[in-house]
Amino acid sequence: MIILGIDPGLSKMGFGVIKINDEQPSLIDFGIISTTADQPLEKRLKTIYLDLKTVIKEYQPKAMSVEGSFFGKNVRSMMMLGHARGMALLGAAQAGIPVYEYSPRKIKQSVTGNGNATKEQVKYMVQIILGLKEKKIPDDASDALAIALCHTKQFRYDD
């Protein structure tokens, strides 16, 4: 089964694609969908949507896992993040892919065994679990892979 993990963001949306066979995950691809602050919001959202649609079409995931919403003090930042998450959810809905949301704490717990793990600890465990040696993974993509890996711990698949 192929799982697409999404770390939502308006400037940088991380994605990670993994395959799970016999409960063993393997890396397929990862990357960043980037936009710039000097672009109008609608153009940024269109870029996210179209790029994500391309990823979905190429890899045909059977599930999408997304970091769930969290509450912050900056309402504007929360709204921008919500717009970006919406593009990911729309892409999944249009492709008929079920979406699963996980809290940051649940993701860290699933990947490292510690719900309070640091970003560095999560990144290290992602590399260990996927057998990546010396591979430079951007933080947002590493987070997306962690989100995909979290999903593998929540469900058991036969294929």
- Point out the catalytic residue in the list 7, 101, 120, 159: 7
In the set 51, 120, 140, 143, the catalytic residue is 140
- What is the band of 71 on the pLDDT scale with cuts at 50, 70, 90? low
Sheet with 2-7, strands from edge to edge, namely 24-34, 12-21, 2-7, 63-67, 99-102
- pTM of the full structure: 0.92
Is the confidence at residue 34, as pLDDT, over 90?
yes
67 given a catalytic annotation? yes
Catalytic residue among 23, 42, 67, 159: 67
Here the tokens at position 56 are 């979905």
How far is residue 7's CA from residue 141's CA, in Å, rounded to a whole number?
A: 7
CATH fourth-level superfamily of 2-154 = Ribonuclease H-like superfamily/Ribonuclease H (3.30.420.10)
pLDDT digits (tens, 9 = 90+) for 122-159: 999 999 999 987 678 999 999 999 999 999 988 655 44
Q: Sketch the domain layout of the chain as residue ranges.
A: 2-154
Distance of alpha carbon 83 from alpha carbon 11, whole angstroms = 11
Known catalytic residue at 140: yes
pLDDT digits 0-9 by tens, 15-33: 999 999 888 999 999 999 9
* Residue 50, pLDDT above cutoff 90: yes
Helix axes 104-112, 119-129, angle to 10 degrees: 50
User: What's CA 8's distance to the chain center, in Å?
Assistant: 7
